[in-house]
Amino acid sequence: MFKQRKISHDLLSSTGRDELGHREQTPQQGEPVDRYTVGWICALQEEYDSACRMLDEEFDDPVELDASDDNTYTFGRVGFHHVVVGCLPAGRYGTNSAACVARDMMRSFPSLRSALMVGIGGGLPTLSNDIRLGDVVVSMPNGVFGGVVQYDLGKRLPNGDFQRTGHLNAPPNKLLGVIPEIRKRYNDPRKPDAIAEHLRRMDDMPDYRRPAHDHLFQAHYTHQGGDSCLSCDPSQLIQREERKGRVVGVHYGTIASGNSVIKDAAVRSELAKSDMNPLCFEMEGAGLMNNLPCLVVRGICDYSDSHKNDVWHKYAALAAAAYARELLIVLKPTKVASMPSWAVEVKTSIECISGHMQEVQTSFDEDRLHRWLCPPDPSTNFNAAIMSLAPGTGTWLLNSKAYKIWKGNRGLEATPVPPIWLRGIPGSGKTVLSSSIIEDCAGLVSSPTTSLLYFFFDFTDAEKRTHDAMVRSFVWQLAGQGSNEMRILSELFSRCNGGRAQPSRKHLYNTFGDMVKGKKDIYIVIDALDECTDRKNVMWLMQKFTSWWKAELHLCVSSRQEKDINKVLQQIVPENGRIVLDKERVNADIHHYLRRRLQVDEGFDKWRKLPNTAQEIERKIMDKADGMFRWAVCQLNSIRGCLDLPMLRDTLSSLPDTMEETYSRILSTIADSHKNYALRILQWLVYAVRPLMIEEIIDVLAVSFNEEGHAFDPRNRLLDVEDILSICSSLVTIEKSGQGLLVKLSHLSVRDYLVSSHTQAFFRNSMESETANTAISSICLRYILQLDTNCYSDRRIRERFPLTTYAVMHWPIHARAAGEGSASVLRLIEELFLLQDESFCTWVCLYKNSVSSGWKDHVRARKDRLPLFYASLLGLTGAVKLILDKGISPNLYDADVGTPLQIALHQGNIDIVECLLARGADPNLKSGVFESPLVEAMSQDREHIAVRLIEYGANPSQTCVEHGCALNMALAKNLATVARCLLDKGANPNANYKPHGTPLQIVSENGNEQMLQWLLDKGANPNIYRGKADSPLQKALYYSRPQIVDVLLRSGAEAIPSICGPALERAAYDGRLEMVRVLISACSHANSCKGHWGVALWMASSSGHEQIVRLLLQKYAHMPADFVGLALEWATVRNHHGIVKLLRQR
């Protein structure tokens, strides 16, 4: 019997050929396994079905298949090649599954010479690669990569960058040798379209026909939901010219392979700009390339974005199979026969890849978590500090009793470990001591029950100044200490909508707590608390630490002695844990440091040759050090520059007394020719938003302020980076990081001095915030205006011009800090926004971090609107005025982003809002994703702006999504002035919007008496309310607003017994005397309420509310005896003696 085939034979006729003229595919007798030379591997059912249709003949199973082979195959022939088609198990994808199929193939078919991995993939369309759905991509080496790259195999560097590791083999030369012939035939219009002919082999299956629509959306536009794109905005489609020529476009180059599906346009764009330059994504190729000679062929079924769906799957699978068939037809059997068997190669490689799979997946997951959590890396601070740690430094601390108790009291849950607090003056060496503690404790963490966490607050790095930064860093450090901790972080990632939301502070605390459960000892070192911008939160957390974890917590913190820090830490840290860095202790460390540097620093070689000179240097500095570690470092740096003995002795005899005098001398020694360089460096290091790379500082210095010629010329760059240190000796340091070399101020005391009134005259005015930020923003703008717009690629521009990223992103911050009215800054903004179209478009593209054709065309098409939009977005008031002065309408709008007024309001740029309104902006114009300007202002609680909008004509009766109407919103948010203004301008006090209700219902709930009276004065009816919802009176009763209830009743609210009676009972039970008074008054005329009086008496008596009992007895002389008796019984049982007495007198 022949085996049942998956190929449909309904079209076969008695002539031996099907209706399309193809040879009949009747199964033939099984062939020996050694006849098969080509393996064809698929991952999905549609790929498998397409592959089988490409066979000229099918054969029965060979009888000698390996018994342990788990695969199901189809056997057949394409041209002269015997082919075995294998498919991955249903529901199994990825490199590991592909390797498993190859493993079993190797056992059963040791004579196989090569393989094809044929199926579908996600395309990466770019300007240079016009890839469309249904096209085919073939893996081909490009000189750097072998044709397939595993993009998610690598490691996370300390700076957060991802470094790919490993190398995949190229396809075999015999298969690559066929490609030129295929391309020649396919590109020749005189030749028949062979691939199109192969596509017709499945014409009898409508599901495999080419779909009608090929939609590529803008990269920034995400899918709007549903299985199709029917809900997506057609205006967001990228318009492409209709392609002419062959039915299937074929592309050759790099295929990116990984273990997850890419459906994010941002990730697609990021990888498209990488050095890989991939044409498509897929999930199996990397599992084969190093295991057998393989060529990967992929049909493009989607664009690897959120619009991904299955519509093109079957056709794309068919297109790839058609190409593979054509390749085998062109490939000569003699070429295959000359290739070696791959059985031996596969055996070793298969074992290897399975071992790598867990590493691959772990690396990918960690990369995703790191990008989401964004934890700062404290190791850069630690490494910089440890470099200056001379042998013997800090031994007094490490040998102290307090430290030994702190470090050594391990795992003793009954004995809490007292925290230690290192206190000292600026420059006393606290950071070096913190680093020595971290280094000393590093050996304790070999046990999984012990963790060491540390963080350095750093005034030079905005990412290391906050409480949240510290907590994120702690969580990430813990996650790297074990698989369980990483699992806990992954669970947090999942709870945050798969990383689409950021974790709250509470979530981070809970995650931190879950990670340290089971730990016996947790060492936490926090350095430079005084450099934290929200240290109240850090100190609150430290207090919680000491209550959350008892004996297992070893907490160490260092700081200057500042009032707020002293107040809190004195409550947390016992007296014996408060370690003051007094002069004697610090001088001991200074002595170790001086001796070490004088012995090993090559700058002191000449003084070591002179008898006793090094000792003299050491003695002179120690005589005046006075516990100032930083001071000693600066003096030694100064002495290092002495040229001869007289100069040395003169320097030693006139050492400055203070840090201020030290810094003043350093500035005074800067050569006049270098002072402008020094000033620019110091301005940037003091006021820059983030730490700067050395390449960025070099370009900062290369920008010219001359009006003639180019503002920036790469030829003007410093040739030696060491010159930066020589220009600003002792004030600046260069620090290694994962990204490269960072230039930073050498100490917080340097910044304190530079911004003080004691700075040298040449620097003083220029270091003031407004002046310095004017200079910085001017440099940024000049740099942007000088960018080479012919460098289309974002990556290319940033590589050639290292300051680009900083200048593009941060010039508006500095422009605002400069007081944007600065004439020089405003001139540059005008040039960028209004005069230099190319520069403006380049800046916008870089700012949006996208250079796809869609976005750039979008920018150019809307150039007239963008300057005002961006000026409003970035808070550039002067620029807005300048643009409006040029006649640009303030009422421009865009369907996506709204109006300038909406943008400015959303960003909180209030000066711009005032400016736009004064220049005629329509306060009722609404567009894009925002609410109306009035609603947006109220949502931000900007009462003044809301009133101004109303005064400028905002519709007082306008609706809004959240509250129904503007009046309801003002009342709900207690914006009294806005509510009054809306009422005065004609807002309806009886407006009734489902499901939000009426204005009276809202104020009855929130209890604002003044607003209530305004509404009633304007004619609000207390008996109008929404449907079955609570009336205003019911709202006031429910939320216990006695004054509101009173006003409503006096204003005509209907006192319905079924509402007031139960409310009276509840108020009596709760002891709310004022509410009881109001309700008694309201119900006194309603006989149907009298039954509730008795229940109220019982409730008040049982709860012990004597005043309410007395009031009820006074107001209701004919209280039924049964209720009095019941009340007396409960009051007696609960020992409310006063109430018992009242009731008995009754």
pLDDT at 2 over 50: no
Q: Are residues 245 and 329 in the same domain?
A: yes
> Which residues face 58 on adjacent strands?
76
CA–chain centroid gap for 737, Å, is 21
pLDDT at 168 over 80: no
Q: Is 502 part of a structural domain of the chain? A: yes
Q: Percentage of the chain surpassing pLDDT 70? A: 86
**What's the pLDDT band for 31 if we cut at 50, 70, 90?**
confident
Lowest-pLDDT range of 41-55, 130-144, 1091-1105? 1091-1105
Q: Is 929 part of a structural domain of the chain? A: no
Task: Give which of 975, 978, 970 is closest to 949, Cα–Cα.
Answer: 978
Q: Which among 848, 870, 887 is the end of a domain?
A: 848
Distance CA 690, CA 672 (A): 29
Q: Are residues 402 and 476 in the same domain?
A: yes
pLDDT digits (tens, 9 = 90+) for 630-641: 888 888 888 888
Domain range holding 1078? Answer: 1055-1146
pLDDT on residue 50 = 96
pLDDT at 750 over 80: yes
DSSP secondary structure code for residue 17 in this structure: B
pLDDT on residue 793 = 64
Of 738 and 828, more confident: 828
CB 589 within 8 A of CB 394: yes
pLDDT at 411 over 60: no
Residue 394 CB neighbour total at 10 angstroms: 23
CB 132 within 8 A of CB 243: yes
* Average pLDDT for the chain: 82
Q: Is 6 part of a structural domain of the chain? A: no
Q: Are residues 1091 and 1112 in the same domain?
A: yes
Q: Determine the residue type at 387.
A: M
**Termini Cα distance of the chain:** 106
Distance CA 837, CA 90 (A): 55
> Which residues face 121 on adjacent strands?
300
How confident is the model over 1116-1126, as a mean pLDDT? 79
DSSP codes of every residue in 765-801: GGGSHHHHHHHHHHHHHHHHHTS-TT---HHHHHHH-
Of 1056 and 511, more confident: 511
Task: Give which of 177, 111, 170 is closest to 145, Cα–Cα.
Answer: 170
pLDDT on residue 46 = 93
Of 626 and 390, more confident: 626
- Number of helices (H) and strands (E), helices first, in the chain? 53, 23
Q: Is 903 part of a structural domain of the chain? A: no
pLDDT on residue 953 = 92
Q: Which among 767, 789, 819 is the end of a domain?
A: 767
Q: Is 536 part of a structural domain of the chain? A: yes
How confident is the model over 18-32, as a mean pLDDT? 47
Q: Is 398 part of a structural domain of the chain? A: yes
Pairing mode, strands 420-423 and 732-737: unpaired
pLDDT on residue 354 = 46
Distances in Å between the Cα of 464 and the Cα atoms of 42, 157, 736 are: 49, 18, 16
How confident is the model over 236-244, as a mean pLDDT? 87
pLDDT at 324 over 90: yes
Lowest-pLDDT range of 93-97, 132-136, 445-449? 93-97
The 3-state DSSP class for residue 693 equals: strand
Of 1029 and 431, more confident: 431
pLDDT digits (tens, 9 = 90+) for 33-58: 788 889 999 888 899 999 999 999 99
Q: Determine the residue type at 297.
A: V
How confident is the model over 154-166, as a mean pLDDT? 55
* Burial of residue 270 (number of CB atoms within 10 Å: 0-12, 13-18, 19+): exposed
pLDDT on residue 154 = 62
Of 30 and 308, more confident: 308
Q: Are residues 716 and 807 in the same domain?
A: no
Q: Is 547 part of a structural domain of the chain? A: yes
Distance CA 26, CA 13 (A): 11
pLDDT at 1119 over 90: no
Q: Are residues 711 and 811 in the same domain?
A: no
Q: Is 327 part of a structural domain of the chain? A: yes
Q: Are residues 576 and 593 in the same domain?
A: no
How confident is the model over 665-688, as a mean pLDDT? 89
Distance CA 48, CA 46 (A): 5
Of 742 and 364, more confident: 742
pLDDT at 1001 over 90: no
How confident is the model over 547-551, as a mean pLDDT? 59
**What's the pLDDT band for 549 if we cut at 50, 70, 90?**
low
CB 156 within 8 A of CB 370: yes
How confident is the model over 876-880, as a mean pLDDT? 91
Q: Are residues 592 and 577 in the same domain?
A: no
Domain count along the chain: 6
Q: Are residues 69 and 54 in the same domain?
A: yes
Lowest-pLDDT range of 102-111, 175-184, 277-286? 102-111
pLDDT at 991 over 90: no
pLDDT at 611 over 50: yes
pLDDT on residue 303 = 93
CA–chain centroid gap for 968, Å, is 36
The 3-state DSSP class for residue 1135 equals: coil
Q: Can you give the pTM of this predicted structure?
A: 0.58
> Which residues face 959 on adjacent strands?
965
Pairing mode, strands 692-693 and 740-745: antiparallel
CATH number, domain containing residue 682? 1.10.10
Q: Are residues 561 and 459 in the same domain?
A: yes
Distances in Å between the Cα of 855 and the Cα atoms of 239, 794, 847, 861 are: 12, 13, 12, 10
Q: Are residues 566 and 429 in the same domain?
A: yes
Lowest-pLDDT range of 357-366, 783-792, 968-977? 357-366
pLDDT digits (tens, 9 = 90+) for 935-986: 888 888 889 999 999 999 999 988 888 788 889 899 888 898 999 999 999 9
CATH number, domain containing residue 112? 3.40.50.1580
Q: Are residues 642 and 731 in the same domain?
A: no
Q: Are residues 604 and 634 in the same domain?
A: yes
CATH number, domain containing residue 500? 3.40.50.300
pLDDT at 551 over 60: no
Distance CA 117, CA 1132 (A): 89
Distance CA 94, CA 379 (A): 35
pLDDT digits (tens, 9 = 90+) for 903-919: 888 888 889 999 999 99
pLDDT at 184 over 50: yes
Lowest-pLDDT range of 220-224, 306-310, 689-693? 220-224
Task: Give which of 115, 107, 71 is closest to 92, Cα–Cα.
Answer: 71
CATH number, domain containing residue 1135? 1.25.40.20
Backbone angles phi, psi at 40, to 5 degrees: -120, 110
pLDDT on residue 579 = 87
DSSP codes of every residue in 1006-1021: HT-HHHHHHHHHTT--
Q: Which among 530, 554, 581 is the end of a domain?
A: 581
The 3-state DSSP class for residue 705 equals: coil
Distance CA 898, CA 456 (A): 42
CB 907 within 8 A of CB 816: no
pLDDT on residue 701 = 92
Q: Percentage of the chain surpassing pLDDT 90? A: 22
